[in-house]
Amino acid sequence: MSDLVRVDNVGKTFTLHNQGGVSLPVLANVSFVVKEGDCLVLHGPSGAGKSSLLRMLYGNYKCTQGRIEFRHRNSWVDVAKADPRDILDLRRHSLSYVSQFLRVIPRVSAIDIVMEPLLLRGTDEKISRDKAAEMLERLNIPQRLWTLAPATFSGGEQQRVNIARSFIAATPVMLLDEPTASLDAKNRDVVIELICEVREAGSALIGIFHDELVRERVASRRIEIQSYNAAEAA
């Protein structure tokens, strides 16, 4: 299996410009490699910097130190250095981010939100719609909601629409930030199945899961993200 992600000696210190320029060191010396089919679980206490690390991987937060490389179009892209256009291209083809929150677009129906990633890839409209219906059904979204905009859906329903949209068109690398956070056991099991399916198809996942049972079922490997003071002492 070939490498898809190489993270080398990454660190992050936030500078709080609106609070007198205070420096807040969060991460130091994080290194790992992720291969096709891997599911790397980031483990560690609340506030350790797990979500920040995912945002750095996605190119939303800048690294203060180190390299984050993704395999992309048969070459390597370092998001710590890439310009915004390269990051957008990387996201279009090779990298996605799945949070527990759906970005609600006013007046766009659930099924249209779910099928959009397939349409953007050039998939036929009818095939995209059928696939979206299948995903919504798997995630137990009642059919009467499919044509409604998710703004008024419950938190768990929005989360499941978001998961349907993310997994309908899996990318080679997927970043997951607590995707099962407000789901019941039945829907949590569906997400675990989806994760296993995309891994079998060769995608790699890097995720944060608050639930030990989920971690046990999905992880091929774990790394401990220590709180900064503990990392410095070690």
- Binding region for ligand ADP (CB under 6 A): 14, 16, 24, 26, 46-52
Choosing among Mg ion, ligand ADP, none, which partner's interface includes residue 48 (Cβ < 5 to 8 Å by kind)?
A: ligand ADP
Q: State the residue for tokens 């891994």.
A: 199
Choosing among ligand ADP, Mg ion, none, which partner's interface includes residue 213 (Cβ < 5 to 8 Å by kind)?
A: none
If the CB atoms of residues 173 and 225 are measured against Mg ion, the closer one turns out to be 225
Terminal Cα distance for the chain, rounded? 32
Q: By the 8 A CB rule, do 33 and 10 touch? A: no
If the CB atoms of residues 51 and 96 are measured against Mg ion, the closer one turns out to be 51
Task: State in angstroms the smallest separation of the CB of 47 from ligand ADP.
Answer: 5
What's the distance, CA 72 to chain centroid? 17
From 47-55, 61-69, 82-90, 223-231, give the range in contact with Mg ion by CB under 5 A: 47-55
If the CB atoms of residues 48 and 194 are measured against Mg ion, the closer one turns out to be 48
**CA atoms of 143 and 109, how far apart (whole Å):** 12
Bridge-based pairing of strands 204-208 and 39-43 is parallel
**CA atoms of 47 and 44, how far apart (whole Å):** 8
Choosing among Mg ion, ligand ADP, none, which partner's interface includes residue 165 (Cβ < 5 to 8 Å by kind)?
A: none
Helices (H), the chain: 50-58, 84-93, 110-120, 125-138, 155-167, 185-200, 212-218, 228-233
Identified binder of Mg ion from the candidate list 4, 28, 44, 51, rule CB under 5 A: 51
Q: By the 8 A CB rule, do 55 and 61 touch? A: yes
Choosing among ligand ADP, Mg ion, none, which partner's interface includes residue 71 (Cβ < 5 to 8 Å by kind)?
A: none
Task: State in angstroms the smallest separation of the CB of 208 from Mg ion.
Answer: 6
Choosing among ligand ADP, Mg ion, none, which partner's interface includes residue 117 (Cβ < 5 to 8 Å by kind)?
A: none
Contacting residues toward Mg ion, per CB under 5 A: 51
